[in-house]
Each structure stands twice: as structure tokens, then as C-alpha cells.
Amino acid sequence: MKATGGILASEQHTKALSFDADIIREDFPILKQLVYGKPLVYLDNAATSQKPAGVLDAMTHYYSTDNSNIHRGVHILSERATQQYEEARTKVQGFINAAQSKEIIFTRGTTEAINLVANSYGRANVKAGDEVLITAMEHHSNIVPWQILCEEKGARLRVAPINDDGELILEDFAKLLNERTKLVSLVHVSNALGTINPIPGIVEIAHRHNVPVMIDGAQAAPHMKLDVQELDCDFYAFSGHKVYGPTGIGVLYGKASLLDAMPPYQGGGDMISSVTFEKTTYNTLPYKFEAGTPNIAGTIGLGAAIDYVNQIGLERIARYEHELLEYGTEALSQIPGLRLIGTAKDKAAVLSFVLEGVHPHDVGTILDREGIAIRTGHHCAMPVMERFGIPATARASLAFYNTKEEIDALVAGIHKVKEVFG
């Protein structure tokens, strides 16, 4: 993390009585640049978040001081790298309050984590005539792996509907559970709508039918405190790059009893205990699911990102981002011709919208020239767009380093779009 007079900017922040995003922003070098001669306003955090200096420094330190492979070498560099890699696993365990560190599997990201469960647990437990239940607000990454599995096994993919506010209709979800349901997989926070699903109640309903539940937590992990034991979910996945860490690293949490019973997903490297031409004995958890040389620098960077977020505190982050969401919702609602998509009562800091008579791509292009980065398109959630009868939205997604002044800049930019297309 960047030091300011010997004190980290974020450490200064934690000593402050109120949440001060201006102090936090000092830890993020990329936010200080100008774009087209204007201050960068980065509002594309649901796609990926920016990285504090502490994360960048941790990865640079690894490559410049400790670079070596892990778990194999007897030399000091390998020992140091292995120690940092396993310390990151322990940090993730604490971050989501998993019962054991062996329940933390490192993957490339949320997508690979879901594919791991689909290919390992799914192939072993889903048969012809069985059902997998998802919801209508899923990211493609939580649809396609289950489609592939169901096509291969002759199983059926069921989809629980959502209402006009973008909320899961719990009554209909419960009705879709039956003796053929072998797994429920759903998103914690919708990337396209911002909807926060009531996971504890959903897990309770599914468990009444003895159905395990997988949670796509990619959009939840950066914004709320997680406790997988309290949620009682069976699997939970999230990506490092959305939690202010590097790309190419993610996490699958699974209950040890389930992971122990699952066959390996990929072969080679750390997942092996012994090999002959007749038989291979697999390693224990968590290594059984970590084939090949892992993303060591990325894992260490993720550990640094978790340290950073913990230092600020996810409860404080959630409160501040909720303030931003309320401010942004009110401000955007005042713009004639603007329609917010996703108006759930329980929402994360996502402002998805369409502007009458203007394609979202044009909105994004004009805002870009104002120095404002948002996301436009279907957000890898084409069924969600279809549900609302639109091809795409413009999406501003917020993080704890964003400010009300930046939302004001977004509003001014949207008025400029209206002038251009007026």
C-alpha cells in the first residue's frame, strides 16, 4: 500500500471517524489519471475493480524477490513462495469464515469454480431425468456449465422466475424443487440488476429437499461481509479481480464432506499423490482440485487485497456504498426519459439503465469522451435483457473509492448524451 508520510493512506482512513473516499483514493494510482483531459471517473467496478498499491507491491515483491514454484522445491525461494501462497489460503478462509482452510480451492475465477462443481459434483451426481435449478437473473457463467451438464446427462435445467423489480419470486422457486432436483445454483448479487438474493432463506428451502446449493458470489464478495457457515451454502465462488485483487485468480469454497467425495476435475501437478502406469492416487484437499502450477503471484495478490479490504472493514464499505446507491438512484431518477432496470428492495451498488431513443452503446461512447467509464451491453446476462424486453443497458457500478461528485459527473454526462441526441 502506498505510504503517506510513513502512514498508509488507508490506515489514515481507518483512524477517521467518517468514511472518506478521498483518502482511500490515494491508495489507487490508476484513479489519478486524466482521460481526454478530464479526471477519470471509473464506474465499471462490476466488470473489474481497480487495485490498491499494496496489491501491486505484493505481486512485484514476489516476482522480484521470491519467484519460484511452490510445494516442490527445498530451496529458500520455494519455501518463501509456498508460505505466502498458503498464507493467502488462510486469509481467504477468514474472509468468508470457512471452517477449514482445506475447504478453499484456488481457481482462475468464479467461472472456473462453477465449471469445477458442474464437472466434478455434477457428473457424479446428476443422472438422466434429474433436474438442476437456477434463476432467471444468472450470469452466463452460471447457465452454460449446467446446460452442458444437462445435455450430456439427459437432465433438465429449470429456471426460477423474477418479477418486474428484478427480484426472485421465492414462491415459484420453492415450487420448482422436487425429488428430481440434484442441485441449486444461483447468484448472490446480480451483476446486471444489483439484486441481492436472500441466500439463507433460499438455502433453507433447498436443504429441506436435501438439495445442495452453489452460490455465485462474484458480485457479493467485494460489497458485503460473508460467512459461508452462517449462509450454510454448500459451495461458494468468487473472483479475485472484483475484490481489488489481480485477474486470473478465484476461489471455490466447498464443504469438506462434499469436496472429499468429489472426483478430481483436472489431472497433473499438485493433485497427484503417486502415479504408476496402472493407477494414480490423488492428493488430499485442497490440492486434489489444484492441478498444475497455480497462479502464485495472483494468489499472493489476492491475499494482499483481502488484507486491504479487511483493514477498511466490509461493514463500513457496505454502508458507504449504500449511501452512494441511494444518492445515484435519486439523481438518475430525475432525468427525463431514463428508466432504471433493476429496482429490488435489497440492492447492491449497481445502476443499470436505458435512455429513451438512445442505444446504450452510444451512451457509453459519449460518456467515455467525458472521462466516465461505464459498461454497456447485455453484461453476459442475455436472458435478463430478454426478461425486460431490451437488448442492452448502460450500467454504472460503484465501489468504495467512488464519490457523490463522480455520480454528479455521470448525471451531467447523461444530460450531454440527451443534448447530442435531442
Q: What is the mean pLDDT of each run of 10 residues along the chain (422 residues)?
A: 44 59 96 97 98 98 97 93 98 98 98 98 98 98 98 98 98 98 98 98 98 98 98 98 98 98 93 93 96 97 98 96 98 98 97 97 98 96 96 98 98 97 86
Cell numbers given for 18: 467518517
Q: Express each pLDDT in 384-395 by its tens digit.
A: 999 999 999 999
pLDDT at 72: 83
Which of 380, 382, 385, 390 is catalytic? The answer is: 380
Contact 401, 24 (CB under 8 A): yes
Q: Is 380 a catalytic residue?
A: yes
> Helices 296-312 and 53-61 meet at what angle, rounded to 10?
150
pTM of model > 0.85: yes
What pLDDT, on the 0 to 100 scale, is given for residue 18? 66
Q: What residues have CB less than 8 Å from 417, skipping those under 6 apart?
A: 355, 358, 362, 363, 366, 367
CB atoms within 10 A of CB 136: 21
Cα-based angle 375, 147, 200 (whole degrees, multiple of 5): 70
The predicted pLDDT at position 373 comes to 98
